[in-house]
Structure 1
């Protein structure tokens, strides 16, 4: 009887895991399709490829798309307890760590671009050139790689040769060999996000001051810029909350395992996936030029498909 109960419990647990994984597959598939459409729109129009805010937006789309793919792989491997060698886990971890930081730093760069456009309009054309956009992306990736470089340097210096031959579940905890590494990682992330929060509050206050004295079309443009900055702040808030997730989950694990599993899944959807899916909605669908280009590409593709069927 006990064996039957255990078997039924195992089947029920497996069904729940499969259902949760399928929900994530649907969400990720939808947003990857949206991202691909918007990336295609960016490369099809020369205007987008020469405008700083669109270049930065494309950088965010590429980073978020890679993040969605890698985090989905990590979720599936973790859900079904697939063990792997450290080098494969290292590739996934490097990609996830970089994308985790690249997106919020790019959001800050986009906020600064809106600040320059609204508060320093005469210098916008001089500062926000295509060349400076590429330099900005290089700086974003360099800054994003600092925490990862520090963390991996400590790991390689501390890890014994046995670690490189073992198979284990691929999680960030696999690279933490000392408790102080966890504190160092948390401190660096929180320092980054503190600086980001200060920058975004500064930009919001400055743009709000300009909005109060603006009039006509300038007022409309300024208000839209203000809304964009506020939405970026909301994204950063979600990213900031995600930093506290490991601490919350560790406490829940000590209380109740099923509660830990359910909260972990909720956190993954709301605080890890959601911020990555907001960028296409904030910029891609709110920006009229970009939205019309995406709409044209989708409609033209459907018309072309229908015409090919009618020809057949």
Structure 2
């Protein structure tokens, strides 16, 4: 039987895997640096943290950054076959399962905010104040915690006390003790998927009607906001598909282990990294006010552009 470290096309399999890990770390470091710059910009001006749209944006950045850090830590532990005590794994699972839902629920709330801004402009100041944003974040975390509570409640009632003292590789599969638990978790995820996508489609249709009937500068602004909703819908789709990853990967694991590893790497890049680089694109770059502020602070104020100074200061 051939050794795993045998040369394949001039380099060993271990070298290839090591390069993949290094590339992953490079991407994650880049995304975290971008997110840190955006979060810093958010807190530098009171205009941003008194506006609902930017408060929700900052919530997605914090959620995405936390998910990237934790999933990367689990990825490294899995790659090097590290184990951890189950009590620590449970804590990581609680945080991850919460914030994996926080991002798509927040994206849905941001879409609703755009719907109010375009279709109900006279009530936007009343419904989308900074006070409403704080209430929205509490509601978002409450809704996002429901699936985690369901899974863990069943798990705690089924697991033996000796389980918590064991050491094992940390993954979501260890919390699924029975087949029906997996079906229940899948049903909860699909229910959330359905509700959030119905909301996105409803807002899209309403905003599109307003965009078609608008004229002049209002028409241009409405179509720009409509494109933002489309981008957010695509981002939400990627975030929601990742909720199905554990079920897809579990099925593939029983077919072929090497295919399972490749699929897991693919899912990690396309469904965990990709959606989280769209948030900086949608608001950090496409939003002119935020982009000018970001540019000003990243360059430490050395570029004395009059437009930047007027918008930021």
TM-score, with structure 2 as normaliser: 0.92
User: 1:13 deviation in Å?
Assistant: 4.0
Q: Could you say if the C-alpha distance between residues 9 and 257 of structure 1 is closer, same or farther in structure 2, counting changes exceeding 3 Å?
A: farther
Q: Distance in 2 between matches of 1:172 and 1:301?
A: 46
The residue aligned with 2:5 is: 8
Q: Distance in 2 between matches of 1:74 and 1:135?
A: 32
Report the structure, 1 or 2, having the larger helix content. Answer: 1
The residue aligned with 2:268 is: 268
The residue aligned with 1:60 is: 60
Q: Could you say if the C-alpha distance between residues 32 and 302 of structure 1 is closer, same or farther in structure 2, counting changes exceeding 3 Å?
A: farther
Maintained 8 Å contact 1:89/1:170 = yes
What are structure 2's unaligned runs of at least 5 residues?
304-313
User: 1:293 deviation in Å?
Assistant: 0.6
Q: Distance in 2 between matches of 1:266 and 1:77?
A: 18
Q: Classify the secondary structure of the residue corresponding to 2:279.
A: helix
- For 1:66-215, what aligned pairs fall within 5 Å after superposition? 66-215=66-215
Q: Classify the secondary structure of the residue corresponding to 2:5.
A: helix
Q: Classify the secondary structure of the residue corresponding to 1:24.
A: helix
CA RMSD in angstroms comes to 1.7
TM-score, with structure 1 as normaliser: 0.92
Q: Classify the secondary structure of the residue corresponding to 1:6.
A: coil
Q: Could you say if the C-alpha distance between residues 130 and 146 of structure 1 is closer, same or farther in structure 2, counting changes exceeding 3 Å?
A: same
User: 1:258 deviation in Å?
Assistant: 1.8
Q: Could you say if the C-alpha distance between residues 181 and 52 of structure 1 is closer, same or farther in structure 2, counting changes exceeding 3 Å?
A: same
User: 1:146 deviation in Å?
Assistant: 0.8
Q: Distance in 1 between matches of 2:175 and 2:204?
A: 38
Q: Classify the secondary structure of the residue corresponding to 1:270.
A: helix
If asked which structure has higher relative contact order (CA below 8 Å, sep 6+), I would say: 1
Structure 1 stretch displaced more, 189-198 or 265-274: 265-274
Provide the aligned length of Structure 1 versus Structure 2. 300
Maintained 8 Å contact 1:74/1:92 = no
User: 1:9 deviation in Å?
Assistant: 4.6
